[in-house]
């Protein structure tokens, strides 16, 4: 299942709000009780198996956690039953450093109340914190038939956009996604949310585009290995399964890496032979119809490509060379 995305052109490549966030994308999960906020946070950032979310307790006060990876993502959650827009709360403390609010709607439940709350939140944010992106996750779509799922998604999206338009907020930065913790959609959607907060995104996309055209790569993703969030991809149209194929390939390689792996050097640290290239994992394999290429860029990032060529093995040396050039450019972009 792929995440359906609309209006995702908003706010691409901006820094998160607030000086204190120091480039760490900070996300805020909001939505009604039992909509699935803690589950999303647990599954994506704490590697919690989806089945274990059945035992999660209700969140009663604001919570914050962080995921240490290529970027230290900050994740906050506001309990659904409290109205944080009353004078009893200091909104500046809550929203000052937030880059994106992820509003979770349970698509299996009655959602009209949730939509009213969401509209209030969007209008409040648009007036007070206009730089915060609002990302609406129409969540738990796994339990719905394909037709019902699409109808529900369209209905939610249309109601919100119509209401915002009536209120004079035609250009509010709101995007919509279909998500579930039981498939890849929640990872893919969070990837999109985070990408919009990365100032380096346009540069990364153009580097990936040129790598793809030089090496006849069909689709290339730059993955955060630990969270399986992709921080950039080339800009060619995305096939529904591409993300899933590449993300599953990372799992296989990480499992093998854990079995036969070695301690990866920290950023700036010298390797035994002072040669990162020969000590990083590179693999090209045929998986079903496709050849997949994976190469570690550093301890946290991996480039995963679906090859477009019929027999890319013949040109592996050339591909390795070009990927090496890409890796050097990446090091310059992030200042490694
Ligand atoms: N079918 C399905 N169930 C889900 C999904 N995500 C979460 N759930 C279930 O929804 C229930 C509530 O999830 P929570 O993550 O606790 O919801 P919450 O929004 O954090 O709830 P509060 O802490 O009460 O505000 C749990 O039983 C989860 O297993 C999903 O994608 N699909």
**pLDDT value at residue 58:** 84
CB distance 100 to 28 below 8 Å: yes
Q: Is the CB of 62 under 6 A from ligand 1?
A: no
CA-wise closest residue to 319 among 288, 300, 293, 280: 293
- Measured by CA distance, the residue closest to atom 27 of ligand 1 is 54
Q: Which atom of ligand 1 is nearest to the CA of 42?
A: 15
ipTM over 0.90: yes
Q: Is the CB of 79 under 6 A from ligand 1?
A: yes
Band (280; pLDDT cuts 50, 70, 90)? low
- Measured by CA distance, the residue closest to atom 26 of ligand 1 is 54
Q: Which atom of ligand 1 is nearest to the CA of 59?
A: 23
In the predicted model, is pLDDT for residue 5 greater than 70?
A: no
* Global model pTM greater than 0.90: no
Kindly report, residue by residue over 283-310, the tens digit of the pLDDT. 766 767 778 888 888 878 899 999 876 6
Q: Is the CB of 140 under 6 A from ligand 1?
A: yes
Greatest CA separation found in the chain?
Answer: 66
* CATH architecture group of domain 201-334: 2-Layer Sandwich (3.30)
The residue that leads in pLDDT, 186 or 299, is: 186
Q: Is the CB of 143 under 6 A from ligand 1?
A: yes
- Measured by CA distance, the residue closest to atom 6 of ligand 1 is 36
**pLDDT value at residue 56:** 87
CB distance 164 to 126 below 8 Å: no
Q: Which atom of ligand 1 is nearest to the CA of 139?
A: 31
- Measured by CA distance, the residue closest to atom 9 of ligand 1 is 36
Domain 19-195 has CATH 3.30.390.50: no
Domain regions of the chain by residue span: 19-195, 201-334
Alpha carbons 217 and 210: distance in angstroms, whole number: 10
CA-wise closest residue to 74 among 44, 102, 48, 98: 98
Q: Identify the burial level of 335 via C-beta atoms within 10 angstroms of its C-beta, where 0-12 means exposed, 13-18 middle and 19 or more buried.
A: exposed
């Amino acid at each position: 299942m792929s995440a359906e995305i609309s209006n995702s052109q908003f706010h691409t490549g901006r820094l998160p709000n607030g000086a204190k966030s120091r480039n760490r994308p900070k996300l805020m999960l909001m939505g009604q009780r039992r909509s699935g906020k803690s589950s999303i946070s647990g599954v994506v950032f704490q590697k919690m198996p989806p089945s274990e979310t059945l035992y999660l307790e209700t969140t009663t006060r604001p919570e914050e956690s962080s995921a240490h990876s290529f970027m230290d993502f900050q994740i906050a959650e506001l309990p659904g039953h409290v109205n944080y827009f009353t004078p009893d709360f200091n909104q500046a403390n809550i929203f000052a450093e937030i880059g994106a609010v992820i509003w979770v709607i349970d698509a299996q439940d009655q959602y009209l109340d949730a939509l009213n709350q969401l509209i209030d939140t969007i209008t409040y944010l648009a007036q007070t914190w206009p730089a915060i992106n609002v990302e609406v996750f129409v969540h738990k779509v796994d339990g719905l038939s394909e037709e019902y799922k699409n109808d529900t998604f369209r209905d939610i999206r249309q109601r919100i956009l119509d209401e915002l338009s009536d209120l004079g907020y035609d250009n509010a930065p709101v995007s919509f996604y279909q998500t579930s913790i039981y498939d890849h959609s929640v990872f893919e959607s969070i990837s999109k949310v985070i990408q919009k907060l990365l100032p380096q995104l346009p540069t990364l996309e153009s580097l990936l585009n040129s790598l793809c055209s030089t090496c006849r790569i069909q689709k290339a993703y730059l993955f955060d290995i630990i969270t399986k969030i992709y921080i950039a991809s080339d800009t060619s149209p995305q096939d529904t399964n591409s993300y899933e194929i590449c993300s599953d390939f990372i799992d296989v390689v990480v499992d093998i890496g854990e079995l036969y792996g070695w301690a990866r050097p920290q950023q700036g640290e010298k390797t035994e032979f002072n040669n990162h290239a020969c000590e990083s994992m590179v693999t090209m394999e045929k998986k079903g119809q496709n050849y997949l290429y994976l190469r570690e860029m550093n301890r946290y990032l991996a480039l995963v490509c679906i090859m477009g060529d019929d027999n890319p093995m013949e040109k592996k040396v050339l591909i390795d060379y070009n990927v090496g050039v890409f890796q050097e450019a990446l090091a310059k972009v992030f200042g490694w």
